[in-house]
Amino acid sequence: MSTVKQTESKLAILSLLFAASMWGFIWYPMRLFEQAGMSVIWVTLVMYFTAAVASLPVFLKQRYHWKQIPADLLWLALAAGMTNLAFLVALNEGQVMRVMLLFYLSPLWSVILGRWWLGEKLSLAAIAMFLLAMGGTILMLWRPEVGFPWPHGLADWLALFASMCFAVNNVLSRKLASVPMALKTTIVLWGVVAVSIVVLLLQQASLPVVDVTVWLSAVFIGGGIIIAMTVAVLYGLARMPVYLAAVIMLFELIVAAISSALLTTEIMTLPEWLGGALIFAAAFGIARVEKHNR
């Protein structure tokens, strides 16, 4: 491997680790905004609107692509919008690690949707990983006093909903493989904006009465961190296999575990940790399965 290729590979890994770290820590500023009087939905709207406006040049430059397949891009925008909003609200409402781990069921849903929607082969290894993840989910959701392992509370439901929407997002991204990644990312940003606006209208939410610094902070995160995370993921995905990128992005869980342990009083039970470990192992296993299927 040439020196240039080695440098690009290292930068790609660092880019993905940066993005994973930011996603693993995103819950903390969301809670600070909530404490300051701005709801997660409003923060999400401001952040993603800032990033989406910055992405307009990309959208206009490559507009000839979306004219060919508007329906699929609209579905992608909807799926991505629901994914991001549900995930961020779940992180604010629930236990950080529990939400993160339930969300990481998304690779398993992606495999199932890929089989049903795109006709992709479902190997025995993929089936084994699915069963492993389901076992982990049962352990995490199990409550002896309640009985049947079912989501408990809004955060659990939103985390599972976000994981399923993210799977739809992933499968649509595969289906739209001919569309440049930068254009799909622009569509995703505007999808989050649109879904946030709809939810706020349904809630009949009034404009937050907060200090101007709170608004500026949301703009800064959107114009700085969200864009930086997006660019980092695009750079990493363009320079390494998808399966390897998926494994590296699992670093998000490590960052979430450390940050939540240091900054909150949340404590996960032993069954929850065991269930989470199974989900983590299944997500890692699916990434390896993807490697051998390519």
Full pLDDT tens readout for the chain, 294 residues: 566 566 777 888 888 889 889 998 999 999 999 999 999 999 999 999 999 998 888 777 766 655 666 678 888 899 999 999 999 999 999 989 889 888 888 777 777 776 666 566 667 777 777 777 777 777 777 766 555 556 678 898 999 899 888 888 877 877 777 777 778 888 889 999 999 999 999 999 899 999 999 999 999 988 888 888 888 887 887 677 666 777 778 888 888 888 988 998 888 878 878 887 887 787 777 766 655 555
Helices 270-293 + 242-249 axis angle, to 10: 170
CA dihedral 130, 133, 134, 135 (to 10 degrees): 120
Joined together, the tokens standing for residue 249 give: 């992005």
| Residue given tokens 């590979």 in the structure block | 9
Half-sphere exposure of 5 (CA within 13 A, CB side): 3
Cβ atoms of 249 and 19 within 8 Å: the answer is yes
Cβ atoms of 252 and 21 within 8 Å: the answer is yes
User: Residue 234: which domain range?
Assistant: 3-293
Closest Cα partner for 51 from 5, 15, 84, 82?
84
CA–CA separation, 250 vs 103, rounded Å? 12
Q: What residue type is assigned to position 260 of the chain?
A: S
Q: Which helix (H) or strand (E) holds 7?
A: helix 3-25
CA–CA separation, 155 vs 134, rounded Å? 18
Q: What residue type is assigned to position 223 of the chain?
A: G
pLDDT recorded at residue 171: 78
Sign of the Cα pseudo-torsion (66, 67, 72, 73, in order): positive
Joined together, the tokens standing for residue 210 give: 């907060």
Q: In a 3-state reduction of DSSP, which class is residue 147?
A: strand
Tell me the pTM: 0.85
Instruction: Measure CA of the first residue to CA of the last residue in the chain; give whole Å.
Output: 21
Q: Residue 105 phi/psi, 5° resolution?
A: -80, -10
How far is CA 266 from each of CA 28, 98, 278, 287, rounded to the nearest angstrom?
A: 13, 10, 20, 29
Domain count of the chain? 1
Distance of CA 1 to the CA centre of its chain: 32
Closest Cα partner for 90 from 76, 104, 109?
104
